[in-house]
Amino acid sequence: MRKLGIFTAILASTALVACSAEEPADEAVEAGAEDVAASAMDAPADVETVVIELQEVDELPTGGSAELVLGEITYVTEPVTHAVNIPVRFTGCGSADVGAYWNGAWIKTNPPQIDITMWKDPGATCQAIQSFNYQVDIAPLMEAEPQFTVNIYVDDRLIGSVEVGAAE
């Protein structure tokens, strides 16, 4: 009976996102919690911005990303010509732990839409809290469609959408 209790405690602790030094330990956030995104993304202004290439893949990655906490998704034109800015907080080793993936499909609406999946490498074993502003470069897509909507997903869960480009 005691072993089961320890096993349950270990499982429960692995489902929690570690707290930063600024947050009390009793405010630990359960992975995948919907109401965390806004408060957790009150990141300091010195958060590193990382430009990442949108990876076009035949099959979107799944699983392993439940602890990603995303902030407000915006369309930006700096430092790259066209990008979707996604503030992300997670436990891991560094910025290379997270990628952006697209299956190449355009959703035929007005304006058209694409779905981007943010995915964290589940093999990253570090437990440090990481915060980055990922800027997903969508400039190559702007050649095909000057205006469209980008939907951002984590593990088949829609996190947010943003309109990009300008009407002609």
Do 160 and 74 contact (CB within 8 A), yes or no?
Answer: no
User: If residue 150 lies in a helix (H) or strand (E), which one and from where to where?
Assistant: strand 147-154
Q: 87 preceded by cis ω (within 30°)? A: no
In a domain, 27, yes or no: no
* Mean pLDDT value across the chain: 74
Number of folded domains in the chain? 1
In a domain, 72, yes or no: yes
Percent of the chain with pLDDT over 70: 70
Cα gap 52→70, rounded to integer Å: 16
In a domain, 5, yes or no: no
pTM of the model: 0.70
Does pLDDT of 51 surpass 80? yes
Task: Identify the domain containing residue 89 by its residue range.
Answer: 33-165
In a domain, 19, yes or no: no
Percent of the chain with pLDDT over 90: 43
The pLDDT tens digits of the residues spanning 60-91 come to 888 777 678 899 999 998 777 899 999 999 88
What number is the average pLDDT over the span 26-40? 36
Half-sphere exposure of 100 (CA within 13 A, CB side): 25
Do 51 and 79 contact (CB within 8 A), yes or no?
Answer: yes
The enclosing domain of 79 has a CATH number of 2.60.40
- Residue 156 is predicted with a pLDDT of 86
In a domain, 7, yes or no: no
- Residue 45 is predicted with a pLDDT of 62
- Output the CA angle 9-13-15, nearest 5 degrees: 120
What number is the average pLDDT over the span 103-129? 89
What number is the average pLDDT over the span 132-142? 93
In a domain, 13, yes or no: no
Q: Which two tokens stand for residue 124?
A: 């990253």
In a domain, 141, yes or no: yes
